[in-house]
Amino acid sequence: MTLSHITRHIYLALGTTSLLAMSAVTLAKPAPENISERVTQIEEQVIQWRHHFHANPELSNREFETAAYIEKFLLELGLQVQTGVAKTGVVGLLDTGKPGPVVALRADMDGLPVLEDNDLPYKSTKRGMFNGNDVPVMHACGHDTHIAMLMGAAQILTGMQDELVGQVKFIFQPAEEGSPAGEVGGAEIMVKEGVLKNPDVDAIFGLHISAAAPVGTVLWREGGIMAAVDPFKIVIKGKQAHGAYPWLSVDPITTAAQTIMSLQTIVSRELRLLDDAAVITIGSIHGGNRSNIIPNEVELVGTIRTLNETAREHIYEALPRKVNAIAESMRATAEVTLPLDYFYPITYNDPALMQQVLPSLQRTAGADNVVYSKPVTGAEDFSFFQKEVPGVYLWVGGRSLDMAPEDAPAHHTPEFVVDDKGMKLGVDLLTNLTIDTLFAEQ
């Protein structure tokens, strides 16, 4: 049943007088210029929030102070607030009391074990424990800006409650960067714990700041925008022998070398590269401890990145086929674990929803600043939300207009930096995407 059908039934039940009173509230979509003015009014507050979170980052599943700060803010807005979702997640619910869609907005909260190398007044000096080690902590991927932008959108939308229909969920998610060893977390666990239920979400939106894209731009794409990620492990077992007598061994190191080179031919020789861009990377090799001993086994750990299910399914078949055939040819054996300990699906922008909200992007950022993006082989666990409900994920420019593109630091590095000015468009986008979706059926 559409929103208009639901509203019609309510009107019939309440009578003509109530019909005229309600239509003035539920059918009058707020003007975009009023939203832009509200965003401008709170821009400095959004920047202050961002600086606070940047100076006080916390690692995945350890976002306790961050969550408490957000909880206090949402409660002060008068929202219904749920805490402890997927361990440290916080969810606020804005219920307008009027029938309409349910829109969700998501921001991730966790920092990274990176030592910041920037000269900022709000530079991080924090440390934390990661897999048993004392490490520096930094918001080296912009999650501090994501939190601040979502808080800004929450404040604006809550202040407009009487002008809106439906409901809005504000999802502050932990552990997007991956949980510590032996733990679970992130979007997958939030979904399992029912974050998209009660009320059932109709559409979800997320933003990621980009250190490469200039301030004022938004990058979009329908379909796969970020890759699926599938870690894997290969253990090649041979026979140990003295390095001077290799004929007495079954050499797992030579076998591993041939395996690594052969795996690259899955992408270069088996996938249709015009349609199926993919990456297979070995990031870790462990085997042996002396120059003159051929070891019993070698362990390889790597990652697979794919942008559609066809490529992913092919690699799932091809990788163990290659590994086992090479091991057999070398008289060794191999064990393949795929996926290893977690996986992220493809971050897939629902084509129909993307086309529905594209005018929102163009109106908010200006048509010249709305850029069609190539997909990237990085991954995002926002994809778990998109597997359950239609969702759109966008990149928002964070590179200062004074910075040359070649000087922009990469994400996940000590030099990572983004311009505070980029957040204004992010707040504006989150607010307009929500309102346009709430009123889409009117």
Distance, in Å, from the CA atom of 9 to the CA atom of 6, rounded to the nearest integer, reads 5
- Based on its alpha-carbon atoms, the radius of gyration of the chain, rounded to whole angstroms, reads 25
DSSP state of 307: S
Residues contacting residue 41 through CB under 8 Å, at least 6 positions apart: none
Q: Which residue has the tokens 């959108």?
A: 153
Catalytic entry in 71, 108, 110, 350 = 110
pLDDT of residue 10: 36
DSSP label at 49? H
Res 17: pLDDT? 37
Q: How confident is the model at residue 27, as a pLDDT? A: 53
pLDDT for the residue numbered 275 = 81
Q: Which domains does the chain have, with CATH numbers?
A: 31-226+347-438 (3.40.630.10), 228-337 (3.30.70.360)
**Is 110 a catalytic site residue?**
yes
CA distance 82 to 320: 44
Eight-state DSSP code of residue 409: P
pLDDT value at 25 more than 60: no
* pLDDT computed for residue 246 by the predictor: 97
- List alpha helices for 203-350, DSSP H: 252-265, 309-329
One of 63, 116, 176, 436 is an active-site residue; which one?
176
Distance CA 193, CA 191 (A): 5
CA of 422: how far to CAs of 136, 213, 214, in Å? Answer: 26, 10, 8
Mean pLDDT of 14-26: 40
Give pLDDT tens digits for 403-415.
999 999 999 999 9
Which tens digit of pLDDT belongs to each residue from 145-201? 999 999 999 999 999 999 999 999 999 999 999 999 889 999 999 999 999 999 999
Give the pLDDT score at 341: 84
- Token readout for 41 is 């009014």
Active site residue 44: no
- The C-alpha angle 382, 384, 390, rounded to 5 degrees, equals 80
Pick from 64-73, 129-138, 268-277: least confident: 268-277
Average pLDDT, the chain: 93
Bridge partners (DSSP) of residue 284 are 301
6 confidence band (pLDDT: 50, 70, 90) = very low
Residue 279 burial by Cβ neighbours in a 10 Å radius (0-12, 13-18, 19+):
middle
Longest dimension (CA), the chain: 97
DSSP string covering 193-221? TTTTTTTTPSEEEEEEEEEEEETT-EEE-
Give dist(CA 230, CA 343) in Å, integer: 5
User: Is residue 371 a contact partner of residue 395, using CB atoms and an 8 Å limit?
Assistant: no
Q: Identify the H or E element spanning 24.
A: helix 16-26
Share of the chain above pLDDT 70, in %: 94
Closest to 26 in 3D by CA, of 52, 2, 3: 3
Q: How far apart are CA 219 and CA 35, in angstroms?
A: 21
CA–CA separation, 274 and 294 (whole Å): 42
**Contact assessment for residue 76 and residue 97, using Cβ atoms and an 8 Å cutoff:** no
Q: How far is CA 16 from CA 10, 89, 259, 435, 441, in A?
A: 11, 44, 75, 27, 22
pLDDT of residue 2 exceeding 80, the answer is: no
Residues 6+ apart with CB under 8 A from 291: 243
If DSSP codes are grouped into helix, strand and coil, which group holds residue 301? strand
pLDDT digits (tens, 9 = 90+) for 306-362: 999 999 999 999 999 999 999 999 999 999 999 998 899 999 999 999 999 999 999
